Amino acid sequence: MRPRRTRALKPLLGGCLLALAVSGLTGCGGDAGGTDTLTWFINPDGGGASPTGGGQAQLAAECSEASGGAYTIQVEQLPNEATDQREQLVRRLAANDSGVDIMSLDPVVVPEFAEAGYLVDVPEQYIEDFTDDRVQGSLDASQWNDTFVAAPFWANTQLLWYRKSVAAEAGLDMTKPVTFEQIIEAAQATDTDFAVQARRYEGYTVLINALVAGAGGSIVQNEGASAEDTQLGLDTPEGKRAAEIIQELAGSGAVGPALSSMNETNALNMFQDEETSGFMLNWLYVYAAMKENDLSFLDDIAWTTYPRVDADKPAAPPFGGIELGVNTASRNKDKAWQAISCITSAEHQKEYMLGTGNAASRSSVFDDPQIQEQFPMADVFRESLNQAVQRPRTSYYGDLSTAVQRTWSPPEQVDPNRTPAESTELIMKVLRGEALL
């Protein structure tokens, strides 16, 4: 009777293996698509995945159309947060995923991706196209080790937004450069708020970096150095000066009730509160948002370049935006660059700026009458983009930023005598892979 037992068992086991095999086949079917389909990973920009939403998806549709069948661009959306976007991309890139062709990259990930060999160098024939007529900030952001590894797409920086009536009441002459300390005093004198970002997130690093740079220093002094040889510029007079400003902000009583939970949205909400609104540091998108909200005192709102740290040193507005890179594992690199050339054309940058409020990296776009009408701050903004300072350019940016945020949070406890030194120690440990994050 024994053999029967075995026979009865076999079909069942076979069935399991079959199930495994079948599921294997269906799973492998996912990699469909012709040779001329380009996949573009986009960051959320308000246009969603809609070909008529005015965002990157619309540009993708238009360039596909314009290519006359050479390629079709398909968009995939990345998460909201810059850190999540990086995580998603790193996983795919490390897996040598050929399903990624074009990537919308935050400037801070460019060095890391380039260093890891995930980005293709811009081919010679496109360099002129991609560098001509660009604001300085986006040229800086697209290079690594003096090689262009990405194409400037759109560019962002922060402005100082303020209420004319408040500035007038405080006797602040906004036609001249103003300093952080002047704004703090003005806000205190008029009992209004100065809205900045100091939650423990990337936006806080943006502020700290702008302060260090504004004081004439830089967080990383030898960009491109290996982790061990990195020299930090935090435990320096400039770093201490930055900590001083944070300390003054936190102790001023003029930054709203919860400085340590302020992000861009909170700052905008605070600035839209008629009772307390005074000054705000924020990106370009806030103007469209305030217009859309029919703010009652919109006429009272004005803007100028980012404040100075010291009256005698130029301001260092933070640089943001998106650069476009091509994945090393892509099977359609040539067409990807063709597509990028189309996406970043002056016409498309203008269309994109009008559609999403994300500013062009091409200087000439700002002269366009339609742009001038919709963005009355276009000239100031372009000027700021040319002055804008990059966040530390290192392939360890993510770790560095997290370590900065950790040691400088909460802002109420920042101490110029202690914080920069502690911060330096933690960052160095993290860079050497000797600390957890």
Partner 1 sequence: MNREMSGSQKFWQIVASVAIIVYTVVPLLWILNMSLKSTADRADGKFWAHNPTLENYQLIFTGGAKDLFLPALRNSIVVAIAATLIAVILATFCAYAIARLDFPGKRLILGTALTVSFFPVISLVTPLFDLWRRIHLFDTIPGLILPYLVLTLPLSIWTLSAFFQQIPWEMEQAAQVDGATSWEAFRKVIVPLAAPGVFTTAIIAFFTAWNDFVFAMSLTSDHARTVPAALAFFTGASQFESPTGAICAAGVVVTIPVVLLVLFFQRQIVSGLTSGAVKG
Partner 2 sequence: MSTRTVENHLSDRARDERRLGWRLAGPAFVIMILVTFYPILQAVYTSLFKYRLTDPDQREFVFLRNYGIILTDPLWWRAFGTTTLITVVTVVVELVLGFAIALAMEKVIYGRGLLRTIVLIPYSIITVVSAFSWFYAFATDTGFVDPLLNKLSFGLFPADFDWFGGFWSAMVPICISEIWKTTPFMSLLLLAGLTQIDSAMEEAAVVDGATWGERLRKVILPNMKSQIMVALLFRTLDAFRIFDNIFIMTAGSHDTSSLSLVAYNQTISRTEVGLGSAVSVLLFCCVVIIAMIFVKGFRVDLAGGRK
Packing angle of the helix pair 264-271, 285-292 (nearest 10 deg): 50
Residue 323 contact, options partner 2, partner 1, none, Cβ 5-8 Å cut-off depending on partner type: none
Contact yes or no for 261/199 (Cβ under 8 A): yes
Contact yes or no for 176/262 (Cβ under 8 A): no
Q: Is 51 in the site for partner 1 (CB under 8 A)?
A: no
Residues binding partner 2: what is the number (CB under 8 A)? 29
Q: Is 91 in the site for partner 1 (CB under 8 A)?
A: yes
Residue 421, Cβ neighbours under 10 Å: how many?
A: 17
Give me the least distance between CB of 6 and partner 1, in Å please.
Answer: 9
Residue 285 contact, options partner 2, partner 1, none, Cβ 5-8 Å cut-off depending on partner type: partner 1
Residue 146, Cβ neighbours under 10 Å: how many?
A: 6
* Residue closer to partner 1, measured from CB, 78 or 213: 78
Give me the least distance between CB of 289 and partner 1, in Å please.
Answer: 8
Give me the least distance between CB of 29 and partner 1, in Å please.
Answer: 9
Eight-class DSSP state of 123: P
Q: Is 276 in the site for partner 2 (CB under 8 A)?
A: no
Contact yes or no for 386/155 (Cβ under 8 A): no
| Paired tokens of 98 | 């050929």
Residue 398 contact, options partner 1, partner 2, none, Cβ 5-8 Å cut-off depending on partner type: partner 2
For residues 186 and 252, what is the distance between their CA atoms, to the nearest angstrom?
Answer: 11
Q: Is 15 in the site for partner 1 (CB under 8 A)?
A: yes
For residues 168 and 190, what is the distance between their CA atoms, to the nearest angstrom?
Answer: 10
Q: Is 193 in the site for partner 2 (CB under 8 A)?
A: no
Give me the least distance between CB of 296 and partner 2, in Å please.
Answer: 22
**Interacting residues with partner 2 between 53 and 112 (CB under 8 A):** 83, 87, 90-91, 94, 112
DSSP E strands in 127-230: the ranges are 143-144, 147-148, 151-157, 159-163, 193-195
Coil, strand, or helix at residue 304? strand
Contact yes or no for 97/329 (Cβ under 8 A): yes
Nearest alpha carbon to residue 229 among 74, 395, 90, 419: 395
Q: Where do contacts with partner 1 occur on this chain (CB under 8 A)? A: 1-2, 4-5, 8-9, 12, 15-16, 19-20, 23-24, 26-28, 30-31, 43-46, 48-50, 76-80, 84, 88, 91-92, 94-97, 99, 264-265, 285, 356
Q: Where do contacts with partner 2 occur on this chain (CB under 8 A)? A: 2, 5-6, 9, 13, 16, 83, 87, 90-91, 94, 112-113, 115-116, 118, 200, 226-227, 258, 261, 395, 398-399, 433-437
